[in-house]
Chain A
Amino acid sequence: MTTFLDNVFNGLALGAVYALVALGFVIIFKASGVMNFAHGSLLLLGGYLTAVLHDDLGFAAALAVAVLVTAAVAGAVDRFLLQAGGPDPHTAHVQTIVTIGVDILILTDLSRRIGGDLLSLGDPWGDSVSGLGPVTVADSRIAAIVVSTLVIAGVFALFRYTSWGLSLRASAEDVEAASLMGVRLVRVRTLAWCLAGALAALAAVFLAAFPAPGLERTTGQIALKAFPAAILGGMASPPGALAGSLLIGMTEALVAGYQSDLHVLGEGFGDVAPYAVMVLVLLVRPTGLFGGKAAVRV
């Protein structure tokens, strides 16, 4: 029973972090129709900046700088590379490939700087643990859940109550109509990219915190697991991204936790289990759990 609770808690924490990344994906996809392959390197950039700066600035200030810089880089990528030819939704697939190029550039540079090192982010939780009923959990995991919940709630509030959120929802619904109603497409899009970058930088902190050994050059690959999370929930639905992330995190933690009982499936199946779950869900619901059925007018 304790093992089970342990695994569930791990799954929740993992899911909460995936949710930060997946939400970024979904926001970018909603705003620009682009599948952002550079998300992993943005995440790594955020983590790297925090790791480098925390000695001089302290953790909180370093994180703030990292979040801002990553947001700025994401916004700049969108504004100066992707939107160079105007915010044309018909070139979304070309822009998707451009993000691959951007990913290669950022990732190569960061890998060169990080090398084989494990960078500590200097987070305040360290390796302390707390007892929560019968289970012992790392403080960083509790922090991950709390912070993610707050941030995600904040992002939803942004969607719901700000004029930017309204503009974003409007342009995701119908670009032309939104543009005619005076929505500044370029600005709305770029801000969406900034927000996604900021979320990725934040996620990096929890991915590198205890019990993970630290920030490695491969940490960014975790973003790939947010793909199924975002898809599971339905790409156009932020609450769906949340639900999908929890499901993915849970699956991964449970499969990894009961690995010994599942050895038929091979070692390390926990890493790929999310994808198996996703394919099964898509077989039943082709637009994800929360994705609406698209009505087509002929």
Chain B
Amino acid sequence: MSERLSRALTSRPARTVAAVTVLGALPFYLDAFWLRIGLFSMAAAIGAVGLGLLSGTAGQLSLGHAFFLAVGAYGYVWLAGEPGPGLPTAVAAVLAVLLAGAAGGLFSPVAGRVRGIYLGVATLALVFLGHHVLLTADSVTGGFNGRSVPPLELGGFSFSTDSELTLLGVPFGAEERLWYLGLALFALTWFTARGLLRGRPGRALVALRDSETAAAVMGVNVARHRSAAFVVSSMYAGLAGVMLALSFRRVVPDYFGLVLSVDYLAMIVIGGLGSVAGATAGAVFVTALPLLMTRYADQLPLVAAPGTTGGTVGPTEAARYLYGAAIVLVLLFAPDGLHGLVRRLRTRLRRHRSAPPPTPTTSRTATTSPTPSPAPAAPAKEPTP
């Protein structure tokens, strides 16, 4: 569904308008559970686009994304809250994003020198050291129990349930309001990332990934671009962290562990490396799947009701099984990710349509929107690390 929406976004302005209208109308129809899935997906998509830029386009394997998310989330909470400077929340949000970028910049002595799998494990260190700091620095981070997140206020409008607001008979709570904030931030991410990727910086990064020596010969400043990719990616992560903090309303250290980093890596690979749309699709897949499965797992066969013990499979476990199996299966049948899968389906559809006797296959036309296909969004990317 959202995958289709994201694909629609990639094409003509008309489609963009349609997508925005649909996404904008959703809070009037969905309940809080679905809106929360949407919020987490949007936050994850922002972060995944950042990681895609770094690992997919620039070819720098990073397992440290959770750390930069944590910097964004905790940065916002500390800057806006008590104890802390107690800045206006909007200022705190912007500063938190910059702080995450600065953290990425501080890591650049390592990021500029270390390559491939070494960089991956070096960034792994960030997650563990960061987690340790989050647990230890009680006064800033609240220690093990974390801190509650002050709601964002923008020009007197609060993104929380503090004030009553009803639009067209629909009560607007925190989820409904944050939904639009998420959409705006995601749109910002989408357009800036595409601009970066299609412009000079993106080309320089791709050249770097394919051959550092060749890129250097062509006049790309290797160390500067490598660190810049890290800083920009960290800023997207910081933005995602702020968004996550606002949606969760409480930040705890254990959330920002290695599992989160690995999830982001899974997002960009499942979505298809090197494309913004792919990263978005992967983010929605990885975020929404476990939540949906946990909610609906008890309706699956062979799953025991929650609370029963004794070696039976509970809903949480069933969700994990399905999640693991989904990762394996998607990559087994679509090694180039969802983005590649969509592209292949589209090509097949086009060939199908141009073939003389058009035998309509219902299943295929149902799964892909019949687009008079525009040029493939981003060129296929060769693997990275």
Q: Chain A: residues with CB nearer than 8 A to chain B?
A: 29, 35, 37, 81, 84-85, 90-94, 96-98, 100-105, 108-109, 111-113, 224, 227-228, 230-231, 235, 265-269, 271-272, 275-276, 278-279, 282-283, 286-288, 291, 296, 298
Contact A272 B129 (CB under 8 A): yes
Checking B109, B117, B323 against A104 with a beta-carbon cut-off of 8 angstroms, the contacting residue is: B323
B contact patch SS: helix
User: Residues of B within 8 Å of A, CB-based: how many?
Assistant: 51
B352 contacts the other chain (CB 8 A):
no
What are the 3 closest A-B residue pairs judged by CB atoms, nearest first?
A101-B327, A104-B324, A266-B136
A contact patch SS: helix
Q: A92-B383, A266-B132 are in contact. Are A231 and B121 (CB under 8 A)?
A: yes
Contact B265 A287 (CB under 8 A): no
Checking A85, A94, A108, A287 against B118 with a beta-carbon cut-off of 8 angstroms, the contacting residue is: A287
Q: Which residues of A contact B384 (CB under 8 A)?
A: 93
Q: A85-B335, A97-B270 are in contact. Are A283 and B109 (CB under 8 A)?
A: yes
Closest to A236 in B: B117
Question: Residue-by-residue, is B307-325 near A (CB-CB < 8 Å gives 1, otherwise 0)?
Answer: 0000101100100110111
Q: Chain B: residues with CB nearer than 8 A to chain A?
A: 61, 109-110, 113-115, 117-118, 120-122, 124-125, 128-129, 131-133, 135-137, 212-214, 217, 258, 262, 265-266, 269-270, 273, 311, 313-314, 317, 320-321, 323-328, 331-332, 335, 382-385
Please report the C-alpha to C-alpha distance between residue A98 and residue B321 in the assembled complex, in whole angstroms: 14
Contact B335 A113 (CB under 8 A): no
Contact A104 B320 (CB under 8 A): yes
8 A–B contacts, CB within 8 A, in A order: A90-B382, A93-B383, A97-B331, A112-B317, A235-B117, A266-B137, A286-B118, A287-B115
Q: Which residues of B contact A105 (CB under 8 A)?
A: 321, 324-325, 328
Contact B132 A100 (CB under 8 A): no
Please report the C-alpha to C-alpha distance between residue A109 and residue B311 in the assembled complex, in whole angstroms: 10
Q: Which residues of B contact A296 (CB under 8 A)?
A: 212-213
**How far apart are B298's CB and chain A's nearest CB, in angstroms?**
16
**How far apart are A115's CB and chain B's nearest CB, in angstroms?**
8
Contact B124 A275 (CB under 8 A): yes
Contact A100 B385 (CB under 8 A): no
Contact A93 B121 (CB under 8 A): no
Contact A93 B325 (CB under 8 A): no
Q: A101-B325, A286-B115 are in contact. Are A275 and B129 (CB under 8 A)?
A: yes
